[in-house]
Structure 1
Amino acid sequence: MRLDRYTVGNYSPGAPLWQQLAWYYLGSPLVSSYWLISSNIKCWLLRCFGAQIGSGVRIKPGLKVKFPWRLVVGEFVWLGENCWIDNVAMVTIGSHTCLSQDVYLCTGNHNWSSPTFDLQDAPIQIGECCWLAARATVGPGVEFGRGAVLCLGSVTGRSLAPMTIYAGNPAQPIKERKLHPDSDPDRVDTGNSLTTS
C-alpha cells in the first residue's frame, strides 16, 4: 500500500468545519462526560448538533459519537457505558433497543485491494427491540432485523435476521429468540400498565 497517496475521495464529514470543531471540543466531551450524568442534557446536546433523538433515551457515561448529524435514535433506547458510534456514515437505532457496555458500531472501512487504501463507508441500521450485548462489534452496512440479539463480544459484518440470537466471531445464528409466553413484542411494559409501542 502507498499510504502517502491516500485520499478520502468524494467523502465529506457532512457538516461545516465550525460545527465539527464545536462538536469535537465542546459537545463530544460533555456527552461522554462521567461528571455530567443527566441523559436529558446529553440528548439535548446531541440534538443541538443535528442528531435525531427520541424520548426516554438513556445515555451512560463514556458514550462516543463521531458525527451526531449522522445519528438517528428511536424512543426508549439505552446507550451503555463506553459505546462508540463511529458513524462516518448514517447510524439508525430503533426504539426499545439496548446497546450494552463497549459496543462498537463501525461504518467505515478501507479497500485493502487498492494501493491507495481507499475509504469505504456504509450505514448501519439496527431495528426495534434489539440487544447488542457488551463488547459486541458491528461492521459497515449491517442491518439488524427487529428483535435480533448479538451476544457478548460477538462480531458481525453481515445482517442479522429478526428474532434471532447470534454469537461468535464471525457471529453465527445460534437459536431463535423466544419471548416469555405472557409477553407481547408489540407492547411495552411501562411499569403500571401495558401500552402499544
Structure 2
Amino acid sequence: MRLDSYTVGTYSPGAPYWKQLLWYFLGCPLVESHLLPFSALKVWTLRRFGAQIGQNVRIKPGVRVKFPWRLSIGDHVWIGEDAWIDNLAQVTIESHVCLSQGVYLCTGNHDWTHPDFKLMTAPIHIQESSWIAAKAVIGPGVTVGRGAVLTLGGVTARSLEPMTIYAGNLAQPVKQRKVIYGLRRAKRKTEKIIAELDRDGVEE
C-alpha cells in the first residue's frame, strides 16, 4: 500500500474547522481533565459542542471524545476513567449503559485491499442496560443488543445479541444474562401482600 497517496476521500468530520480547533484546544481538555472531576461540567461542555446527553450521566476523569457532535447519550449512563470514544461516525449510547474503565469505541477502519489504505467508517449503537467491561474494544458498525455484556478485555467486530454475555478476542457468547432484581422485588411484594393478609386476618 502507498501511505503517501492516502486521502480521506469524501469523509468529513461534520463540523467547520474553527469548531474542531475550539474543541481540540478548549473542550476536549476540560472533558478529559483529571483536575476537574465534576461530571456536570463535562456534560455541559459536551452539550455546548453538539452532543445530545440525557439526565444523570456520570463522566469520569480521562474520558476522550473525538467529535462530540457525533455523540448521543441517554439517561443514567456511566462512562469510566480513560474511556475513548473515537467517533469518526455516530456513536449512540442508550440509557442505563455502563462503559467501564479504558473501554475503546472505534468507528474507523481502513480497507487493506485498497492501494491507498482507504478510510472506512461506521456507527456504533449500544442499546439500553448493556455493560461494556474494562478494557473492552468495540469495532465499527457494531450494535450491542439490549442488556448484553462484553466482559473484561473483550473485543468484538460484530454485533452482540441482547441479554447475552460475551467474552474473549474475538468475543464469543458465553451464556445468557439473567437479571434477578425483578425476582427479588416480586418476592418482597409477595411477602408484603402475605403480611397484609395475615394482619387483616388477625384483626378480623
- TM-score, normalised by the number of residues in structure 1: 0.92
CA distance in 2, matches of 1:103, 1:85: 8
From the superposition, tell whether residues 24 and 92 of structure 1 become closer, same or farther in structure 2 (CA, over 3 Å): same
Matches within 5 A, 1:52-63: 52-63=52-63
1:117 matched residue in structure 2: 117
Residues 14-69 of structure 1: CA distance to partner in whole angstroms, max 9, x if unpaired? 00001000000000000000111110110000000000000000000000000000
CA distance in 2, matches of 1:182, 1:106: 37
Aligned residue-pair number: 184
> Match for 1:31: what amino acid?
V
1:146 matched residue in structure 2: 146
- Shift of residue 183 of structure 1? 5.5
1:104 matched residue in structure 2: 104
After the TM superposition, which segments of 4 or more aligned residues of structure 1 sit over 3 Å from their partners?
A: none
Identify the structure with the greater helix proportion. Answer: 2
Residues 132-171 of structure 1: CA distance to partner in whole angstroms, max 9, x if unpaired? 0000000000001100000000000000000000000000
Gaps of 5+ in 1: 185-197
Highest CA radius of gyration, 1 or 2? Answer: 2
Alignment partner of 1:182: what SS?
helix
CA distance in 2, matches of 1:152, 1:39: 24
1:84 matched residue in structure 2: 84
> Match for 2:121: what amino acid?
D
Sequence identity (%) = 66
2:187 pairs with 1:182: no
2:51 pairs with 1:51: yes
Identify the structure with the greater strand proportion. Answer: 1
CA distance in 2, matches of 1:172, 1:166: 5
> Match for 2:184: what amino acid?
D
Gaps of 5+ in 2: 187-204
RMSD in angstroms over aligned alpha carbons?
0.9
1:20 matched residue in structure 2: 20
2:156 matched residue in structure 1: 156
Alignment partner of 2:37: what SS?
coil
CA distance in 2, matches of 1:120, 1:72: 21
